[in-house]
Chains A and B, each alone.
Chain A
Amino acid sequence: MTALRKPLALTLVLLLILACFFAPFLWVVSNSFKPQLGIFADVTPISWRTFLPLEPVLENYRTLFERTNILRALLNTAIVSAGQVALTLVLCAMAAYALTRIRFRGAKAVFVVILLTFLLPVEAMLVPLFQVVSGLGLNNTLLGVMIPWIASPFGLFLLKQAFEELPRDLEDAARIDGAGHVRIFVSVILPNVKVPLLTLGLVTFLFSWNSFLWPLVIAQSPDIQLIQVAIAQQGSPTQLPNWGETFAGATVATLPLILLFLLLQKYFTQGMAMSGIKG
């Protein structure tokens, strides 16, 4: 009996946790199919009506796509996220190689200083970052949106751990085989850290896709607006926010992420377990 009861209890607890995580998403999606009045009417008391649109309407989506340039924002975000992933991977992998495989004076100090920048909250860096990026003339450009984050201390840390786990003999064998640093990096190290690279890529993509504050500050022009900013700003300041449309936008913005995770979740959980860190 106890043998049966234990997994049952465990399953119930897991279901409860799942429900807690899942409910807000369900609520957002369901409300995106309700008219504005319906949303407020169903909030209390919490019942299945709160989470299910009984008479679903597509009006929110129609207005979203007609009134705002959401496709443009999605495209911008995709470009920024993809670019940020690519640049982060290149930069962090090269830095991790240098810090783990090339002996030089002060390597430890360099690493510590880089990690220290990890401790600063984004908000505290916002103004100086804005000054630097504008100073570079990257104000209102997609490059300006991604550039402050590509030198990621988290990425460096994750990859440094992975690089260190590779046996040093591999590199020695490659040197005997006649490989230089570039060849070792590309042909010996990188193919053996695919999972950590993928993990970092995914975490970076997520971070970039969902970022709001920095894009809001640096990319004001409507042409280069990103998705999260676009969703938050679709109503004009004088009107009441149109919640149905906001929820429709949030739903549209989340779909690509869900797809990506379903595709890559195997590697993602592997990588997280390997690094022993939660992103």
Chain B
Amino acid sequence: MAQVRLAGLGKTYEGAHANTIDGLDLEVADGEFLVLVGPSGCGKSTTLRMIAGLEEPTAGEIWIGPRRVDGLEPRERDIAMVFQNYALYPHMTVAQNMSFGLRLAKVPKAEIRRRVEAAAETLGLSGYLNRHPKALSGGQRQRVAMGRAIVREPGVFLFDEPLSNLDAQLRGQMRTEIRRLHDQLSATTVYVTHDQVEAMTLADRVVVLKDGKIEQQGSPQELYDRPATRFVAGFLGSPQMNILAGRVTQGMLDLGAESRFALGAERAAPLEGRRVDVGIRPEAFRLAAPETALIHARAEMVELLGATSLVHFTHAGLPCTALLEPTEAPRPGQEVHLGLRPDRISLFDADSGRAV
């Protein structure tokens, strides 16, 4: 049983003029895979390091399981952490790297051996136990770092951007492996990344962090379908959600450049006369006949990706991308006529950026 609870957690670095983390409240259920995601510098590492005990919070409480742990040493917190650049001890072999913590904790030799061998087996490192880190590839090093965490059999796993030093192919592979490992060990996991693909694919629950505050949290699909703010909408999804400027007049949403469509009375009434930002996912566009189409544009660039194609165009001065079937894709310079599904668009207040 190791749920994690952060209550009013705050961190102000010495000499910094603003709070890096500001009143963070968060609960991670036992066995849950929680991904903290956000742009670089938003305080993800700081949060994780406070949970680990590498950084002291300046406000609030941290609970792991039934115990309040802020103020305790990292080793007393029942956690293990995997670092971005692996942080393997260069002078130790793979086996020594993995067993260092157990040896310090005076775990019996036979038990250490059993755990190291089991972890190596799980991670496909059995043949490498006597090698030094410098004789390993990036992916293998990352596995050793994970092995070092696994052998400690912690209640909570902490990951700080563990895949960002790997190339794209290996990243995809390790992503699958981390998720498989989690399903196997079902240990509580807090995973930090700035990569929205990792967040979407790994998480039971995603927490989007911005400027040290929680912007939104929920399942990956919830966040993707119903972003609470323009920031979340832009952050999750690739290619990014398109944001067009609109205005609601007489129940119609006017997107400029002669594009307007009925919004539905229920949705339009409270917004009557207001300016809104209109978020349209690239896949919400559909090819349409010229007379029924909502948007008429000239394809500026077309990327054929095999399974899909991306059509870039400009609408009312704003850049836009539509995701279409490759067979539907126009040639660059051609006219393209698009419709869209009204239920797949998000509206945000033009000033506050909050969903309306």
Which A residues contact B (CB, under 8 angstroms)? 167, 169-170, 172-179, 183, 187-188, 191-192
What is the bound-complex CA distance between A169 and B81, given in angstroms?
A: 11
A191 proximity list for chain B (CB < 8 A): 91
Q: Are B101 and A177 in contact (CB under 8 A)?
A: yes
With A176-B101, A178-B75 already in contact, the answer to whether A188 and B54 are too (CB < 8 A) is no
B122 CB, min distance to chain A CBs, angstroms:
19
Nearest CB of B to A259, in Å = 28
Residues from chain A with Cβ under 8 Å of B231 in the complex: none
Q: Which of B53, B85, B87, B91 has the most CB of A within 10 A?
A: B87
Say whether A174 contacts B54, CB under 8 Å. Answer: no
Query: Do most interface residues of chain B lie in helix, strand or loop, or is the interface mixed?
Result: loop
Q: How large is the interface on B (under 10, 10 to 19, 20 to 34, 35 or more residues)?
A: 20 to 34
28 contacts between A and B (CB under 8 A): A167-B87, A169-B84, A172-B49, A172-B54, A172-B87, A173-B88, A173-B89, A173-B148, A174-B89, A175-B53, A175-B74, A175-B75, A176-B52, A176-B53, A176-B54, A176-B80, A177-B75, A177-B101, A177-B148, A178-B73, A178-B74, A178-B75, A178-B101, A178-B104, A179-B100, A187-B100, A188-B89, A191-B91
Q: How far is the CA of A167 from the CA of B49 in the complex (A)?
A: 16
Question: Do A176 and B89 have beta carbons less than 8 Å apart?
Answer: no
Q: Which of A175, A177, A187 contacts B54 (CB 8 A)?
A: A175
Known contacts A173-B87, A174-B100, A187-B100; 14 further A-B pairs (Cβ under 8 A): A167-B85, A169-B83, A169-B84, A172-B81, A172-B87, A173-B89, A175-B54, A176-B53, A177-B75, A177-B100, A177-B148, A178-B73, A178-B101, A192-B89
Query: How many angstroms between the C-alpha atoms of A11 and B85 in the bound complex?
Result: 44
User: In the complex, A19 Cα to B83 Cα: how many Å?
Assistant: 53
The distance in angstroms between the C-alpha atoms of A172 and B50, with both chains bound, is 12
Residues of chain B touching chain A, judged by Cβ–Cβ distance below 8 Å, are 49, 52-54, 73-75, 79-81, 83-85, 87-91, 100-101, 104-105, 148, 152
With beta carbons under 8 angstroms apart, the residue of B81, B84, B85 that contacts A176 is B81
- What is the bound-complex CA distance between A187 and B84, given in angstroms? 22
What chain A residues lie within 8 Å of B80 (beta carbons)?
176
Bound CA–CA A40/B81 (angstroms): 74
> Is the pair A169, B89 in contact by a Cβ cutoff of 8 Å?
no
Mostly, the A contact residues are: helix
Closest B-chain residue to A103, C-beta based? Answer: B14
Closest to B82 in A: A173
On chain A, the residues within 8 Å of B52 by CB distance are: 172, 176
Query: Which residues of B are found within 8 Å of A192, using beta-carbon distances?
Result: 89-91
A178 to B107, CA, bound (A): 12
A176: chain B residues at CB < 8 Å are: 52-54, 74-75, 79-81, 101
Rounded to whole angstroms, the CA-CA distance of A179 and B100 in the bound complex is 9
Task: State in angstroms the CA–CA spacing of A174 and B52 once bound together.
Answer: 12
Q: How far is the CA of A218 from the CA of B345 in the complex (A)?
A: 88
Contact assessment for B91 and A169 in the assembled complex, using a CB-CB cutoff below 8 Å: no
Of chain B, the residue at the smallest CB distance from A191 is B91
Which residues of B lie under 8 Å from residue A172 when comparing CB positions? 49, 52, 54, 81, 83, 87
Query: Which of chain B's residues have a CB closer than 8 A to the CB of A179?
Result: 100, 104
Question: Can you name the residue of chain A whose Cβ is closest to the Cβ of B91?
Answer: A191
A170 contact set on B, CB distance < 8 A? 87, 89
* Cross-chain contact A183 with B104 (CB below 8 angstroms): yes
How far is B106's CA from A183's CA once the two chains are assembled, in angstroms? 14
